[in-house]
Structure 1
Amino acid sequence: MHRHFIIYKPYGYLSQFASNDTKQQSKKFLGLLGDFPEGTMPIGRLDEKSEGLLLLTTDGKMSDFVNSKKVDKEYYAQVNGEISMNAIAQLSKGVEIGFEGKKYKTKPCKVFKLDAIPELPTRSQKIRDDRHGPTSWISITLNEGKFRQVRKMTSAVGYPTLRLVRVRVGNIDLNNMQVGAVVEVTGFL
C-alpha cells in the first residue's frame, strides 16, 4: 500500500528530506515537518524561496504521472510593479528563458491578474513594503516545470517575482492549509 501526503511547504525549506552536501547541513528539510515512511518522495519541487502545495508519495508511478505534462500546476505570484496587460499576454503565449545554459521558449499557459490580494498565510520572511512601489498578484497555470520557471518568466517580461506560492496541482488545492501542515490522503487526482 502506497501512502500519499499533501503539505504546505514553508518559505525557507528545501523540497527534500536530507542532503549529504556539507553546504546544506544548516538548511531546513521536509523531514522536520513530519514523520514520513521510508521511500517517501516529493512530487516535483519548490525552490527554497517558494512555498505552497507540495505532494509527497511512496508511489514512483504516481510521481511520474503528476510530473508529466498532463497535470496542471497553478501558482500565485506577487510581482514587482503594476503588471501590464501586454506582459500578461506575453506570459500567456510563452516567453524565452534560460534553462541549462540554453534559451528555451515556455509553452503557452493560462495567466491572469488577480482582482484582490489572495488570502494566504503570512510569510515567515517579510517582503518589501509598499513604500518601495506597487506590486501585483497574478495566477499562472502551466503543465511544464522547468527550474525556477515562473520566476524566470515574470523577470523576462520585466516584473520580477517577490513571492511565489503553488496553490494547486491537478484537482488538489491548498484549501486554507496552514504553513507547515501535513495531511495524509488516500490518493491523488
Structure 2
Amino acid sequence: MIKETIIPNSGALLVKDGEESILVISDLHFEDNEYVYTIIEMVKRLVKKYTPTSVIVLGDVFNLGQGGVSVEAFDREISKIIPLSITAGNHDFEIFPQMILSDNYAFMHGDTDHCENERTNIVLGHTHPYLKGKRVFLKGVLTDGRNFIILPVFNDKVGGPDIIAEKDMLLGFVFQNDLIKTCDVYDLEGKKIGKYK
C-alpha cells in the first residue's frame, strides 16, 4: 500500500510505502544559531506521535553553505532516535546523495530532475511554495505522467514566493520546464484549497 498524508500544521509529509513509513521534511536552511534546537524538538515530536520508520530531509539543510554546527547537531540528535537520510540541495555541499529511492517513490530536492524513469511518484522540496503568506503543499501530475508532491519549507523562519502572485519566481525543474499537467494546492492542515495554473 502507498499513501501520502500531510501532517497537520507542520509542513511535513508522512509517506507509507509498503512496510516503510517515512517522515519527509524539506528546506531547513540552518544557520549556526539556537533555532536548530526548535527544529530538532519539532521533528522529535512528530517521530513520537506518528512513529515513522525513517526520516528523509529533501535538501537545503545548509543555508548558502553556512550552518555546519547546526547541521551536525540535527544529524546527531535525530539519528539517535530514528534512521535519517538527507538528499543534496542547491545550498548544500556535495556530501549527500542526489536522490533517495523507496519501493514506489523517489525523494529529491527538486532543483534538478534526478529520476526521469526511476519511479512514478516523486516527492520534492526547493520551491518554498506560499499562498497569501502561508506555506502550502502542491500535489499533482506532471506532463510525463509522474505523480508529484512539493513540500513547503519546514523551517517556518524561511520565506518563499507566492504561487499565484509571484509565478515567475517559482523554483525547480517542475516550473522551469513547465511540466505541470494538473496541480492541487493544500494548506498546512491538509485541506485542498484550490488549483495551481
* TM-score, normalised with respect to structure 2: 0.28
* TM-score, normalised with respect to structure 1: 0.29
Identify which of structures 1 and 2 has the higher relative contact order when contacts are C-alpha pairs closer than 8 Å and 6+ apart. 1
User: Larger Rg: 1 or 2?
Assistant: 1
